[in-house]
């Protein structure tokens, strides 16, 4: 069975993901422990969100430098795939969006397969909707290795279902 690592496993999306992988070893705070040997796939959910009181410097450390470190560690450990959860906010001129865009660029140094999701708002209250149907309905479109939202919101269920299917 493939060993999956999740950064941000104590956060909103990562927390949902870690409950979905029955029988697959889930990594906790990978960046702090720096132990990612034997992971096949890492889902990079960790990142600083634009909440009140967050300073721009926090985005640089948490969304850029942490992603850069993850890529370096993953290359060293010969991880096969990184799935990076980005945001539609990259199209704004705000620091959060810019930091996630630079995080996407950090993946260019990764030697394995890279998949990027530019997510809209994620609704935490709906768990039973199928993300793959929304791709077919053109709520999302794919350019190379990037899935881009065409819709202002998805449910946590849609996202989780799709991630489980591609792993």
Q: If you average pLDDT over every residue of the chain, what do you get?
A: 82
Buried b (16+ CB within 10 A) or exposed e, 52-81: eeeeeebbbebbbebbbebbebbeeeebeb
- Domain CATH for 17: 3.40.50.720
Expressed as residue numbers, the domain containing 139 is 4-166
Kindly report, residue by residue over 103-134, the tens digit of the pLDDT. Answer: 999 999 999 999 999 998 887 776 555 555 55
Q: What's the whole-number mean pLDDT along residues 74-95?
A: 93
Kindly report, residue by residue over 30-78, the tens digit of the pLDDT. Answer: 555 556 778 899 999 988 888 888 888 888 888 999 999 999 999 999 9
Q: What is the pLDDT of residue 16?
A: 84
User: What is the count of structural domains for the chain?
Assistant: 1
């Amino acid at each position: 069975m493939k060993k999956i690592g999740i950064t941000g496993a104590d956060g909103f999306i990562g927390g949902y993901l870690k409950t979905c992988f029955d029988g697959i070893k889930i990594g906790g705070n990978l960046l702090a422990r720096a132990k990612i040997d034997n992971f096949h796939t890492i889902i990079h959910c960790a990142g600083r969100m634009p909440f009140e009181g967050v300073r721009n410097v926090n985005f640089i450390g948490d969304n850029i430098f942490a992603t850069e470190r993850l890529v370096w560690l993953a290359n060293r450990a010969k991880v096969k795939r990184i799935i990076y959860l980005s945001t539609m906010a990259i199209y704004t001129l705000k620091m959060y969006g810019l930091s996630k865009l630079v995080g996407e660029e950090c993946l260019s140094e990764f030697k394995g397969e890279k998949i990027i999701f530019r997510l809209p708002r994620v609704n935490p209250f709906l768990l039973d909707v199928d993300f793959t149907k929304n791709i077919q309905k053109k709520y999302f479109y794919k350019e190379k290795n990037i899935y881009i939202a065409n819709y202002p919101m998805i449910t946590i269920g849609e996202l989780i279902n799709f991630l489980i299917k591609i792993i």
